Amino acid sequence: MPSQEVLSSGLVERIGLEEAQITYKKSGEKFSKVTDIPNHKIGLELVAGYLLDKKIGVIDSTDDIAAVGHRVVHGGSSFSDTVEITSEVKKEIENLFSLAPLHNPANLQGIEVAEEIFTKAKQVAVFDTAFHQTMPSVAYKYALKPEFLEKHNIRAYGFHGTSHKYVSQQAIDYLGAENSKNIITIHLGNGCSMAAVKNGNCIDTSMGLAPLNGLIMGTRTGDIDPSIIFHLQGQLEYSIKDINNLLNKQSGMVGLTGLSDMRDITAAAESGNEACNEALEMAAYRIKKFIGSYTTAMNGLDAIVFTAGIGENSHVMRRLSCTNMDVLGIQLDQEKNLKRSGEIREIQSKDSKVKILVVPTDEEAEIANQAFDLVK
């Protein structure tokens, strides 16, 4: 930094499970091994081992690391920006465990392990919710008694903020500020969310208190009628734990099709599988509804941005999401849509009034930038 040259990269997967794996890349070479990784501490020690390796490493000492950037999923209302991690910050991350029980505990563990290994580095927290803290109260409040917000912090927070911030800024830089006042960013992966970005600030987003509502996702329902929960519990005798598991892990695309990978779902749909075809149509229909509502909220639309694994790579989801959207001035060029590239690209037709961009997201770069800006 600040050149953003990637010296090395890697991934630790399946921590605590059988066949855990670490992958490390440097100068085009890839090194990976399956090994026992019982916890995050062991995983990060393996990472440090690769970074320090005399043949393929990139540092001579852990003291060479000036900052460690941590993605923290939930910052509640406490954090609207990136912060250096202190004992007070760690305590607040812990206080938010109940709002992100699957993420914040692991995030805090990663911080504490990094403090042990990279003892001279500043630890920096980049919050998934921070970008959405510019939402007005009409967007983030629920129609509940004020005490639920004031005493219990129940409100819409939004997620994938690091990605939405990165790709919206990339789009603004690409189009120019005058041509990008009203942008809708569409993050499509296993988790999916959208954001309305007006003059560079988020004014609404599809996820809420937790990352469950909004778009149809890989295993999550997205928006449903809350009465379904009461029906599941009262009439079908589901426990709250069972309902939570059903809505978060057994629904969405996997619930509709039995398949979890978008590539498999698309291939099955093209082979005539009606359940897969309908699931794709349902997911696109939900996206189109949010595009319409966000265009109204911003009183205009200059561009829509597709990003993340599915958004960047699935020409089918982009096509379905932009079909019959002429009323909003959205017209896709099918030939451009089929082309693949690792760069920002436009895929709208020449008659489209709205730019349709595919912008590769880079949350690691965004975290590095924010950590560098904080500590420099």
Q: How many CA atoms lie within 13 A of 227 on its CB side?
A: 1
Distance of alpha carbon 343 from alpha carbon 274, whole angstroms: 34
Distance of alpha carbon 130 from alpha carbon 134, whole angstroms: 8
Torsion-angle region of 104 (φ positive above 0: left; ψ -120 to 50: alpha; else: beta)? alpha
Query: Strand (E) positions, the chain?
Result: 9-13, 21-26, 29-34, 67-72, 83-84, 122-127, 182-188, 192-198, 201-205, 303-307, 345-346, 355-358
Report which of 293, 131, 141 is spatially closest to residue 201, judged by C-alpha positions.
131
SS3 70: strand
| Residues involved in catalysis | 128
Q: What angle, 0 to 180 degrees and rounded to 10, lies between the N-to-C axes of helices 315-322 and 262-270?
A: 70
Angle at 74 between CA 72 and CA 78, to 5 degrees: 105
Q: One-letter amino acid identity for 59?
A: I
Distance of alpha carbon 176 from alpha carbon 171, whole angstroms: 8
Contacts of 119 (CB under 8 A, 6+ apart): 62, 63
On whether the CB atoms of residues 346 and 335 are closer than 8 A, the answer is no
